[in-house]
Chain A
Amino acid sequence: MRSSVSYILSHAPGESVMSHPDYTQEIQHHACLLVLVKGIGGVLKNFNKLWERIQKVNNIKVTDSSGQVRDIWVRYVRDYPVENNDWGDFQTHRRLLGLITLSKFTNQIELNEVCRVHESLKVKYSNTLFDSRAFMFGPGNNLKKPEQEPEIYSAFEDEKLFKEKSSLSDKMSIPSEQADSLSSSESFQRPSSSTTSYSLPEENFTTPSNFKTHAMFYGENDPVLDLEQHVAELINSLFWVVESKRLERSKEKLEKVSLLLAPFEKRDFVGLDMESRNNKKRCMGRVTKNLADLTLQSGLVAESLTQYHSSAEILKSVNDWLWLAAAKEGHCAASAILIYPNLRNSTPLQRNASLQENSPLKLKSLSLYQSNDPFRKFKMGSPQKSKVSSPVNPPSELTPSSSESIETSSRQSESEIADTESLSSDIEYQRSFLTPDLPSIPRQPQSQLHNQYLLSNEDIAEKYRKAIIHYSKYQNAGIIETEACFKAARIAVEQNNSLIASGFLQNVMFINLTLSEQEKIQRFDTLAELYKEIGFLRKAAFCQRLAATRHVSVNNPNPDWRRCYYLMLHSFPGHKLSLDPNYVIQHQVGWPVLQIQLLQEVVVAAKRMVHPALATRHMTFLLQTMWPHLTKHEQRDLAIQLQALSAQCEGGPVPLVLETGEVIPPANLTHVPHCSHFTPRPLPPARTPHLIKLKPQQGPFIFTPIHFGSLERKSKKDEGKMEYLWVEDDICEVQMKLTNPLPFELKVSNMRLLTSGIVFESIPETIILPPDSPTTVNLHGTPKEVGELQILGYSTHTLGVKSNCRLKNMPMPNKFPASFTLEVIPSLPTITIETEVAVSGNLMSNLESSGSVTNISLYNGESTECVIKITNTSNVPIEYLDLSIQSNMDSQLQTKVFQWNNDDLQSQLPIKPNNTASIVMNLYGEADFLDLGGCDNLFPNSLTSNYPSRVGSPVPNAHASLPTQSSNPQNSLSSGLLNRTSGSFRSTNSQTTSWSAPLSVMPPSRGRQIEAQFLLRYSGGGDAEHCRQSTLQVNLELLPSVSITHWDVLPAEIPSQLYLVLDVTNLTSEEIDLHYTENKHILIEGKESCRVPVPLDRCPFNVTPKSNNEDTTEIRSISTGSSNSLELMCSEHITQNVKLRWNLLQSNISGRASVKGITLSQAMIYIVRMSPLNWEVSINKQCMKPQEEYSCNAGECLSLGVSIGNHLARPLHKLCLSVQFYQDYNNGVLNYKLENSVATAGNNKVVLTTLEETAKAYHECTVVFLTPGEFKIDIQCSTTEPISEDPIKEENSSIIQPCAGEISHVWRFIPPVAISVTD
């Protein structure tokens, strides 16, 4: 909107150039009376308060001579450059009309000085000043009004002077105007004079003789109740002067007016022909414009519109751009005032308290003061009129007041009388006077709003634009133009038209002004403010930054880093920066390059204003928020800068509060060092708490693809909730992985965990991170209470900055939960475990207590003791202790290998702190000594070929814990039957060995490694739910000692006994001494085997399986009854009775061996078992013992008696007892054909139909041996009835059923009776 003919009409800047722009000007100020309020002399304590009160009196209503109420507005300024005053002709609102001084004095000298200053101020603005007031605050509360000379300087005189100056004054009009003004102002003086009269004479001060101002004296602490009244008075008087001027101007003859000049124009018109038509018009236009200004000021806004319009028309025709612009601006101002009345009301405080009751008086509010004291009304004269009237004598001019004024006053006094009693009336009036009540303000009549010259919204902007263009043609009008721009922008803001406003503001930048730095800064400040108002935050920020740089520019004689800093700080929103680093990081908006620049400047500013804490904070902020936008090099540089800054003041995670009350939130460095991993760790296994009572299995796990809402919700809620527990008073650990992104070594000290919830004692950690290599760091701490612990993050101290790095604020790439939640349970004891193996000469058993691993070697069958010492190393007594063993063995074997006394253990509880308890653990090298594997070659005469099932059969059984169910009992039975006739029954462990399978973990010929863990579960203290678990690893090596490769049973010499023949192999390399009975032993060389007979009692028939020891029944239950219980019983019998002890001679180690799990064939069982029939064989009444040989001569008659008793629990039927003689040639041939050599008398075969239980049957026959020789008698008893010794047998013997009717079972008298017959 710059004029293209820029500066054409302007001259070099003269001395009268207005050089002090007033950026705060607004459009409505065109209609205001300008009053300077100045504090002089000593500093008044309540100056600001008084200033505020004065400011509130910015609008009064005056009833003018025609009865019309004028709305008068005042603008108070604290400072006003006198140069600007010179532009008063150009725009009358620039004239300083009134002066109010607020001063303080304590003695006469000061009073004199104050008076002098006041007077000098008056002189300074003497060209325009109409009236002044001096409020003087002296010492003490009550002051006597000092002696004062009557004021000579008065409005009247001024007026007079003015009139004299302006030769066109209309003498006729003055007196009436004057009178009017005087009467009104006189009435105003009333309260002020009353104030002075209240004061008691205490001190006497006298004002200097040349002090001719109306002065009010107060004590310093006086409430100054009448301040507003005095100010209003002043305004009133000012109004009347302005009004008089307006009237005067309006009555001037347009042809004769003098040319009004803007200050810089003075030289332009020198020597011009003022009488030219053009110049005449120019004069007319300017005067009209001046009149319009005055009209506007005196409250006749609508009228001014017309005048502005006409002046503009005139000025346009003569191309007087400058004044045309002013006219247009005035036109805009008047229109804006009408259209936007609230422009004026925005500033004063609204007080409507006494609105209702006082509203009838509103119109006469100005005259209220007359009636306060009718007597005083005349006692004290107005200082303005004191030229002619002394305080004693009322001025003569006063009396002939206009009839109207008298009328008002009388009316007023009537109404006042009612209120005289009321003490508060004064205040009441005051308030009512003050109130710029909107509803009661006489509005411009609606018709005025339809004034033809009233500009519309768009017109205002357009007119203003034109005006500014016109202004721009004059370089010397730069200030005016600037101000016009601001005013226009403000109007545009009011119109909500941001673009137009920004256009006006933009124009400000082009106006070339020679301004002081301070004014430039102010300009940018104002621009920024207005830009902010229209929402142009970036622009505002730009201007603020410019202002900030101006503050500290080299041209600025007194740089102000503080202001610079605050301006920079306030430009943050424009750069889309927030003071909160987390916000910036999250949103990542704005232009990083500019943000970095700004932040760096802020840091510098903060540093220069000597606020190192702020500098550190902002630098931290810069590093933290702009990290991704910085290059590696910048990161390094800034980090070093930060280090340097923090050396002066350490940064901490606390908000900083500025003097302005702004809070700079803490900035935490989460990028330095960068954390890529953060997890709390469970306690180490030895200290992990476990539930004492394991939760019972809830049943089988069922997978469902259906997601139940409730389940999902639960899982979501538990994010960050750790599954494991931490223990009170126990060191806990959080693992994190840190990377130093900077290219130098970074020292991070005082790293701690940030927690909430229960008390947690964090142990500070200091680390030095090498550049760019991830380092794992463990942070430790101790929970001090029981409950929930939240781990929120960690704190660091690096680059001199303390940071609280919270997980939720971590940089994006790592997704951490907001916090980790851990449950802390009451403290639990801790223990140490020592093991000690009894050194009972077991040289081979060595103990290696490496850590908690104990290594023990045992020979199979060897036993030893191990003492476990438990020491309580905590402060909590151990109240619960439970020992269990886990191993790679099945539980059956395990209980045999490891044995301990639990009662003994429990009796040692509780274990006090630092006390020790010990457990004695018995270890036994349990093994299966029956070698079911290879070793066949040891028996040259083994009948392997006859028993194919032996080969390889143990292999599937060796490791399998499941019994082989494929075993066929019939097989063994039938094989036994088949082999019945054969002389020797070889052991078979075919499929029937199923029950022994679990025992044969490994073949005994090889060493075995048993890994067992002793689980110690212990607890104590308050927690009854959790315990700790310690594991003691025991590696038990079982070395092979002896093994039994083959076995057989032989009948012994007596029927009640038998021989168990064992092939025992020494698997050690040493010589072994094997004790197989109490007093028999045999030495076996290393790796040799030996056959030993072990005499045994036969298995009693009536021993039921029930009487077997528990193990057997258990085994039976495992083998689910498929096994042959008879065989089992026999096997058990043998196992119990065979006691093999071995002794390694060299190493003096002894141990035991057993034949547990021995398997027997059916034939063997017959030998092992006692017969169900009790045989008693007698020859010649002589009872025969087993193995006994009877001798007789040939032909001798022998009486053979056989008695059989039934040992079974039931009767036997259809027994057939037979006696047969035969010769054994001892070569395997038995000769039963002895008809020639034996003669028998009596039955050699009898049938017993029934043999009752426990009954005995006896049979006798006589025999004669005819020839000498060796004879044997085969006595047997057979039955055709199926035999079933027990129910199981019965069931399983179903296969025998087809044989029923034939001989189903035969019992023999074993060994056969041998008779040697001699001649």
Chain B
Amino acid sequence: MAVCVAVIGKDNSPLYIGGIGTDSSTDNELSRQWLVHTALDALEERLVSSNTNAGNAPANAARTDLRDLYLGLLYSTDTHKIYGYVTNTRIKLVLVTSSTSPSGSNIRDAEVRTALRRLHALYADAICNPFHLPGDQITSSKFDKQVKNLMLNNV
């Protein structure tokens, strides 16, 4: 299902970009980065708009905390669909599905939602490592393996 998963820090710096693809050439890697990078605009815009909505009604401040972390489809291109998810600490999780592959073309929203939730859990596990500095790139091979697994399992 997913071809690429990215974890982006709250300052929009890439923390982890993992992808599976037929070829792992740098070109492929680069195109993934372009995809995820351009998705950040839409992602940020959504965050801002949700915040302003909350700002209008201060009484609803508590509700913003409970807002849905899943942002849904950020945008799609001819070949890919990009979904976003933001944790409460503003860590952005981006999941890219390929719309060209038969399995990815008719993926359901709920599936993506669960996948991203699981990714969130994996991320939380990864940064529980006491030797991990928040804000650093995630280099854990276990995390990498699990994420790759996640991407494949959902096919």
Contacts and interface: CB of A to CB of B under 8 A. Distances in A.
B64 interface: no
A531 B75 contact: no
B125 interface: no
A591 B41 contact: no
Interface stretch (A8-16, A88-96, A498-506, A640-648): A498-506
B38 A498 contact: no
Contact of B33 (A509, A531, A537, A591): A591
Contact of B41 (A509, A536, A594): A536
Nearest to B32: A593
A542 B49 contact: no
Interface string A584-625: 000001110110010000000000000000000000000000
A502 B38 contact: no
Interface string A478-522: 000000000000000000001100100010011000000000000
Interface string B28-57: 011001100110111001100100000000
A536 B42 contact: yes
A538 B78 contact: no
Contact of B76 (A506, A538, A575): A506
Contacts of A499: 42, 45-46, 49
A591 B78 contact: no
Contacts of A531: 41
Given A509-B77, A509-B78, A589-B12, A539 B41 contact: yes
A535 interface: yes
Contact of B42 (A502, A589, A593): A502
A1019 B46 CA distance: 76
Contact of A591 (B14, B49, B75): B14
B11 interface: yes
Interface in A533-555: 534-539, 541-542
Nearest to A501: B45
A536 B76 contact: no
B13 interface: yes
Contacts of A594: 30, 33-34, 37
A1272 B52 CA distance: 135
A589 B11 contact: yes
A536 B34 contact: no
Contacts of B37: 538, 542, 575, 591, 594
Nearest to A502: B42
Main secondary structure of the interface of A (DSSP, over half): helix
Chain B interface size, under 10 / 10 to 19 / 20 to 34 / 35 or more: 20 to 34
Contacts of A537: 41
Contact of A536 (B13, B29, B45, B77): B45
B44 to A, nearest CB: 9
B45 A502 contact: yes
B41 A502 contact: yes
Nearest to A542: B38
A510 B78 contact: yes
Contacts of B76: 506
A492 to B, nearest CB: 12
A541 B40 CA distance: 12
Interface string B67-81: 000000001111000
**Highest count of chain A CB atoms <10 Å: which of B13, B29, B41, B46:** B41
B49 A589 contact: no
Main secondary structure of the interface of B (DSSP, over half): helix
Nearest to A593: B33
A249 to B, nearest CB: 42
B4 to A, nearest CB: 13
A93 to B, nearest CB: 31
B45 A538 contact: no
A1109 B37 CA distance: 97
Interface string A827-865: 000000000000000000000000000000000000000
A131 B37 CA distance: 52
Chain A interface size, under 10 / 10 to 19 / 20 to 34 / 35 or more: 20 to 34
A542 B34 contact: yes
Contacts of B34: 542, 594
Nearest to A545: B34
**Highest count of chain A CB atoms <10 Å: which of B42, B46, B78:** B42
A506 B38 CA distance: 12
A1181 to B, nearest CB: 121
A589 B13 CA distance: 7
Contacts of B12: 589-590
A502 B75 contact: yes
Nearest to B76: A506
Contact of A535 (B11, B33, B38, B45): B45
A534 B49 CA distance: 13
B49 A538 contact: no
Given A506-B76, A591-B13, A591-B14, A538 B41 contact: yes
Contacts of B11: 589
B128 to A, nearest CB: 26
Contacts of B29: 593
Contacts of A538: 37-38, 40-41
Nearest to B35: A542
A539 B49 contact: no
A485 to B, nearest CB: 14
A597 B41 contact: no
Nearest to A510: B78
A1264 B46 CA distance: 148
A539 B38 CA distance: 5
A765 to B, nearest CB: 40
B29 to A, nearest CB: 8
A594 B33 CA distance: 7
Interface string B1-29: 00000000001111000000000000001
Contacts of A509: 77-78
A1175 B34 CA distance: 127
Contacts of A589: 11-13
Interface in A1264-1283: none
A607 to B, nearest CB: 20
A1237 to B, nearest CB: 119
Contacts of B33: 591, 593-594
Contacts of A535: 41, 45
A538 B29 CA distance: 18
A593 B29 CA distance: 9
Nearest to B8: A591
A535 B48 CA distance: 12
A591 to B, nearest CB: 5
A539 B82 CA distance: 14
A593 B26 CA distance: 10
Contacts of B41: 502, 531, 535-539
Interface string A913-954: 000000000000000000000000000000000000000000
Nearest to A546: B34
B11 to A, nearest CB: 7
**Highest count of chain A CB atoms <10 Å: which of B14, B29, B37:** B37
Nearest to B42: A502
Contacts of A506: 75-76
A575 B33 CA distance: 12
A541 B46 CA distance: 19
Interface string A788-823: 000000000000000000000000000000000000
Contacts of A590: 12-13
Contacts of A510: 78
A535 B38 CA distance: 12
Nearest to A587: B11
Given A535-B41, A539-B41, A591-B14, 16 more contacts: A498-B49, A499-B46, A506-B76, A509-B77, A509-B78, A531-B41, A536-B41, A538-B37, A538-B41, A539-B42, A541-B38, A591-B13, A593-B29, A593-B30, A594-B34, A594-B37
Q: Which 5 pairs, one residue from A and one from B, show the smallest C-beta to C-beta distance? A: A536-B41, A542-B38, A538-B41, A539-B41, A498-B45
19 contacts: A498-B49, A499-B42, A499-B49, A502-B75, A506-B76, A535-B45, A536-B45, A538-B38, A538-B40, A539-B38, A539-B42, A541-B38, A542-B38, A589-B13, A590-B12, A591-B33, A593-B29, A594-B30, A597-B30
